[in-house]
Amino acid sequence: MSDTSWLSKFPQLERGDLIAIRKTLDGAYREFSRNYGDTIESLFDPLLTFLIWFEKLLIASPWWLTIGVILAIVYGASRSWKLCTGVLASLLAIGVLGMWDDTMRTLSIITVCTLLSIGIGIPTGILMSRSNKVQAIVTPILDVMQTMPAFVYLIPVVMLLGIGKIPGVIAVIIYAVPPVIRLTNLGIRLVNKETLEAATAFGATAKQRLFGIQLPLAMPTIMAGINQTIMMALAMVVVASMIGVKGLGQPVLKSITNQYFTLGLFNGLAIVALAIIFDRVSQTYAKRTQKHLGGMNND
């Protein structure tokens, strides 16, 4: 008896039926994109305008000023001169090797995608932490977002919005936002219930408990989620370059198609440098936050 004989007990669609279903769905989506694509695209015009302005600002600003601002942010987050020295060396190497403009383009889109992911992810994680029903609904969606190959969800985005920065931002956010949602939910749920009960006993409202206790105590876990989101966003740089997003990904893609080993290596190392900078800064900030909270708890 064949191992697949049990399948015969279920009704099966004929090949022609499957083709008909696919054609119907494809036609419906094409019709939707024709009728509503321009309207949906216009909703993203403010974001596109900001992206273009921010990219031009980073590229047009003097390199020393840009590096100075980045170092100030790094030191403010980490309080580490060693990390600042490493960041300075990395940025100077990127400039000397002629990758400054592409790095600024990548930095602009990654910064915007990270901020949008945080803006979407933390409120969603808060909702999940407050309701098991919301968690049960959102979790499978996050599973699909994390396991679906990026090239698959690029197809409907490109069909609807064409190629350019906005489809790239949407693709990056879909791929990168799940960690911050999951870890925000987890961090809030792990807050000591006795601490919350004590706050309630002192008359704290739900809003006061959230912003005064839960979010501060969950911040190290949330920062770990933000860190993962940044890493996943950077991992999408090369994929996003396939739909017209300029930056370090395009030279890497060009090196693949034309077998330019050195070009791909240098731009790949620049992406790695950005990833390490973001990783070290966010991790150091999370550790500082954790130590601060630990000191408060000891008091």
Cα–Cα distance, 138 to 171 (Å, whole number): 18
Residue 8 pLDDT: 57
Q: How many CA atoms lie within 13 A of 248 on its CB side?
A: 30
Residue 41 pLDDT: 82
Weakest mean pLDDT among 85-94, 168-177, 280-289: 280-289
Please provide the DSSP assignment of 222-267 as one string: HHHHHHHHHHHHHHTHHHHHTTT--STHHHHHHHHHHT-HHHHHHH
The CATH number corresponding to 44-298 among 3.40.50.720, 1.10.3720.10, 3.40.50.300, 1.20.840.10 equals 1.10.3720.10
- Please tell me what DSSP assigns to residue 7: G
Residue type present at position 163? I
Q: Is the pLDDT score of 1 beyond 70? A: no
Residue 11 pLDDT: 58
Weakest mean pLDDT among 79-88, 210-219, 255-264: 255-264
Average pLDDT over residues 118-133: 93
Residue 124 pLDDT: 94
Residue 9 pLDDT: 56
pLDDT for 105-119, tens place per residue? Answer: 999 999 999 999 999
Q: How many CA atoms lie within 13 A of 193 on its CB side?
A: 1
Q: Pick from 166, 136, 142: which is nearest to 243 by CA? A: 166
Angle between helices 15-43 and 45-60 (to 10 degrees): 60
Q: CA–CA distance from 163 to each of 15, 38, 57, 159, 195 (Å)?
A: 33, 13, 23, 9, 50
Q: Pick from 108, 85, 87, 228: which is nearest to 168 by CA? A: 108
Residue where the block lists tokens 């279903």? 21
Residue type present at position 33? S
What's the token pair of residue 173? Answer: 């956010």
pLDDT for 61-119, tens place per residue? Answer: 999 999 999 999 999 888 888 889 999 999 999 999 889 999 999 999 999 999 999 99
Q: How confident is the model at residue 299 (pLDDT cuts 50, 70, 90)?
A: very low
Cα–Cα distance, 186 to 32 (Å, whole number): 38
Q: Are 83 and 74 in contact (CB under 8 A)?
A: yes
Q: Is the pLDDT score of 2 beyond 60? A: no
Q: How confident is the model at residue 4 (pLDDT cuts 50, 70, 90)?
A: low
Residue 89 pLDDT: 93
**% of the chain beyond a pLDDT of 90:** 29
Tell which wins on pLDDT, 146 or 288.
146
Q: How confident is the model at residue 252 (pLDDT cuts 50, 70, 90)?
A: confident
- Please tell me what DSSP assigns to residue 10: S
SS3 289: helix
Q: Is the pLDDT score of 232 beyond 80? A: yes
The domains of the chain are located at: 14-38, 44-298
